[in-house]
Structure 1
Amino acid sequence: MRVHVALLMTAMLVAGCAGGPSRTKGDAVPQPSAPITASPTAGAFSPTDIAWLQLTAAMTQRLLPVLDLVPTHTTDPTWRRLAAQVQASTRADLNRSRDLLTRAGAPTTNPHEGHDMPGMITADELAVLRSASGKTFQRLLAAHLRAHLAQAVTIAAAEQRAGVHPDTTALATAVIRSGDGDLARLDELDRAPTPHAT
């Protein structure tokens, strides 16, 4: 069990989770807020499962406001389509994460509130995105999407290896599959000309 926790916590340290609003790697390792022992009806959720679900939910909550900007900040249909695809998959992942946290008896509060780490857009970055449009917006969006998707895949792979609850590791597998697919589509979009951007 300690080995499992250490593996995921190492991945989170790579993500640079800190106790405050800076992106400086923190000294403290993020700890799961849920009880180690779940109720008998919840199944066997490990601390690793809980920590991953909490971090995944926190990352997704930061990404959704970015995706909400796309329809009003670019007219390029390919970027709008990609954003809609990512938004659909991340909302589904967020709902599943919340459902699993509820089943595990984990707190409903976000233990990563106020933390900034790779894959999490900051308030300042969101403000810059809100003031951008067209190709500038698309360039910024691509960078933030790539950072989020790459980090989501990294920590999901750690959960896949170290988690114990079958529904949670199944969600991790789904996150990896959708994340890899979205990264591939993002690569194609980055290489393609954008004649419709305005």
Structure 2
Amino acid sequence: MSHATRSRPPTARLPVVAPILLALLGLAASAGCSTTTEPAPAASPVHTAAAPSPTASPSASSTPTDAAWAQLMTPMNEKALALLTLAADRGTEPRLRAFATRLHSGQEAELGRLRPLLARMGLPDTDVHAGHDMPGMVTEADLEAAGAAEGGAFDRLFLTGIRDHLRHSAQVSRSEITAGARADAKQLAADLVTAREAALTELEGLPGAAQALG
């Protein structure tokens, strides 16, 4: 589904980690939000006993790229789960419903690794991208449209939306593999890429996918 028609507040600003990730992907122009300049990471990040704020610094073994990836992938999976839940129940084809059910389980398992990773990095388990239309992110508007659609129209919305999610999350994860520093984050990113490639291959073979995805 097209993201070009969605309106975005002109004064919205991305979290401080987002410009790094968008620069890696070459998507700063298409994201539609203003960006901030990423400060150089401090040589000795200061950690306190207080709960980390949404802008908490990553641990010394992390880079801003690691933080940007983990803080984007977590809400991407969380938002995709809502669409997958709808598809598992409302898809018109048994194969589509089975695909959505399996992918839902896989994305939940990934969250079971992403959330502890955030904790190890000293980052909050919150959506720092809330209110921003990030490429590949399932939005509330997407969910509203899917909820109102029926039959083949629902299938097309699901196939397009989940295809975009899989493609962009794979692209983001490849950037983490290339530019990240943490071994645990890079390994998880590699596992996500493998899972996304397999899911995209299966998606393309689902009934109605050729027509829905062009």
Instruction: Give the unaligned 5+ runs of structure 2.
Output: 1-17, 39-53
Which residue does the alignment assign to 1:56?
73
Cα gap change, 1:187/1:7 in structure 2, threshold over 3 Å: closer, same or farther? Answer: same
Report sequence identity in percent. Answer: 33
Give how far 1:110 is off: 1.8
Give the structure-1-normalised TM-score: 0.80
- Does residue 178 of the first structure (1) align with residue 195 of the second (2)? yes
- Counterpart CA distance in 1 for 2:80 and 2:28 is 16
1:84 partner letter:
T
- Counterpart CA distance in 2 for 1:61 and 1:30 is 27
Which residue does the alignment assign to 2:55?
33
1:76-117 C-alpha deviation (Å, 9 max, x unpaired): 210011101211111111221111000111123221112112
- Correspondence 1:82-101 to 2 at 5 A: 82-101=99-118
SS of alignment partner, residue 189 of structure 1: coil
Give how far 1:37 is off: 3.6
Which residue does the alignment assign to 2:170?
153
More helix by share: 1
Which residue does the alignment assign to 2:23?
10
SS of alignment partner, residue 45 of structure 1: coil
1:117-168 C-alpha deviation (Å, 9 max, x unpaired): 2211222221110112221111110000110000001000000001111110
1:28 partner letter:
T
Q: Which structure ranks higher in relative contact order (CA pairs < 8 Å, sequence separation ≥ 6)? A: 1
**Runs of 4+ in structure 1 displaced over 6 angstroms?**
none
CA contact (8 A) 1:11 1:154 kept: no
Give how far 1:6 is off: 7.6
Give the structure-2-normalised TM-score: 0.74
Give how far 1:11 is off: 3.4
CA RMSD of aligned residues (A): 2.6
- Counterpart CA distance in 1 for 2:209 and 2:115 is 36
CA contact (8 A) 1:63 1:121 kept: yes
CA contact (8 A) 1:59 1:120 kept: yes
- Counterpart CA distance in 2 for 1:105 and 1:122 is 27
Alignment counterpart, residue 179 of structure 2, candidates 151, 162, 168: 162
SS of alignment partner, residue 189 of structure 2: helix
SS of alignment partner, residue 34 of structure 1: coil
Which residue does the alignment assign to 1:114?
131
SS of alignment partner, residue 138 of structure 2: coil
